[in-house]
Amino acid sequence: MSRSSIEDTLAAIGYVKVIAKLNDTQAAAAMAPHIEDNIANYFMVPDEAQAESLALVARRSAGRKLKRPGDVGVRRVRIYRHLGLAVGYINSGGLASLEADPQVGKIDKAPELSLIRPVVAEPGRLGTGPTWGIKRLKADRLWNAGFTGKGVLVGHLDTGVDGTHPALNGAIAKFAEFDMAGDQVPGAQPRDSDEHGTHTAGTIAGRAVSRGRFGVAPEAQLASAMVIEGGQVVDRILAGMDWVIGEGVRILSMSLGLRGFTPAFQTVVDSLRAANVLPVFAVGNEGPNTSRSPGNYANVLSVGAMDSDDQVADFSSSQRFNRPINPLCPALVAPGVDILSCVPGAKYKTMDGSSMATPHVAGLAALLLQAQPTATAAQIESAIVGSCTRPASMPEPRANLGVPDAVRAFQLLTGTQLPAGLTVGTTPRRAVPKRSVGRQAPRRVVAHRAKKAARRPKVAASGGSKRKAARKSRKG
């Protein structure tokens, strides 16, 4: 427990917000009301008027009907059933009671996390096929073999997602909005309070539009929640995590964190791991010798950013820790510079950031989960990590293990070679006429065709012209 920081805050203002781990997670899931009754008295409402104002602001921000002050129910503590956590404000007496209760384990001061915003955001135009990031990870090679993320649900906690964007048509299976107080908004429709969430969602599961393809797992689906920014951020994020676990996700993409290192979210990450969820988190955009929590924890798949020249982006965070397991973060780097994806209003932008790199890896994890549906979170992580190679242009302290390779990760996870498939957008070979043009034939085939042509009787000029015209039309 970070008791010193808790005591410092208690001394300064008389109360502090904490995250308390409940020892019996099964009981927390099955008997939350009972546990809440037992420990609610340890928690407090620091200021009734402020709490009521927060509830009113939360309703207003979510577009719900306002209640008069005094009509708003103010809760002392929130129980997150799937995470097995209790969150609320305590004073010194509440701290002593929590420490003495056998139902309660670790207690941490609640951190204030924020969005890891892109360092560059510019209008973007669609290309003519898969983006450079998809090709660099070789994700399109898995598409060719039939692995597109179909049937996989990926958790996505961000600023929300624009459900009307054509690139996300059919991609959003579940959506939840958590208001400024951390309460779920009933009947909320997919929307983005910013543009960050739509962009990261598009990189995970964007569908093909016009000529462009930027979704790494273009047939995966999203369980997306609006959890940031503003209000009771910790309550909102924890509520989103609890919700995605309840929806059955196996992969969680999150591009937010607290600058520096705080152990407060370690309990939360441990709960995700216990639920067989792979946490894919951004490491931060503050440059060398910096990082963000929880992206800098030893048991998350932390992601930094690289560019198309195989250089680690200058802004990408990296740091070494005094720990025996995974002392370096991030664990790996992925495409995070000049990343094209969708933003609200049926528009597109290119952005730079570790926030853009993270959904690339979450999308790759979705492809692998489709290939091996019984794989655990640890097995998928092991395959991705084991597939990495570090180019000579990337220093180890900045890139750690390097860049994932989707084909190699598939082989490590399944123990088989990637099945032969079709190039995206082409016709099956057996359907292509033998004399079709489009690629250079081997020399022996060219020589054979020349001899065969020499033995053919000559035809009239008109007939030859027709055949030439036909060959030209096939070339087009």
Point out the residues that are catalytic.
158, 196, 355
C-alpha neighbours within 13 Å on the C-beta side of residue 160 = 21
> What DSSP character marks residue 310?
S
Distance between start and end Cα atoms, the chain: 69
Exposed/middle/buried for residue 314 (C-beta within 10 Å: 0-12, 13-18, 19+): middle
The DSSP secondary structure of 153-176, one letter per residue, reads EEEEEEBB--TT-GGGTTTEEEEE
Question: In 3D, which of 291, 153, 126, 106 has the Cα closest to residue 213?
Answer: 126
For the chain, count helices (H), then strands (E). Answer: 16, 19
| Alpha-helix runs per DSSP H in 83-155 | 92-100, 132-137, 139-144
Q: Could you tell me the two tokens for 248?
A: 């059955």
- The residues with which 212 forms a beta bridge, in sequence order, are 209
Q: How far apart are CA 152 and CA 270, in angstroms?
A: 22
Q: Say how far residue 408 (Cα) sits from the centre of its chain.
A: 21
Strands 251-254 and 328-329: unpaired
The full length of the chain comes to 476
SS (H, E, C) 67-106: CCCCCCCCCCEEEECCCCEEEEEECHHHHHHHHHCCCEEE
Residue with tokens 């701290």: 95
Task: Estimate the crossing angle of helix 92-100 against helix 3-13, to 10 degrees.
Answer: 150
Asked, as a colleague might, if the bond just before 330 is cis with ω within 30 of 0, I would say yes
Strands 278-282 and 301-306: parallel
Q: Which residues contact 136 (CB under 8 A, 6 or more apart)?
A: 308, 335, 403
Q: Are 438 and 475 in contact (CB under 8 A)?
A: yes
Task: Read off the DSSP letter of residue 288.
Answer: B
Whole-number Å distance between alpha carbons of 467 and 217: 43
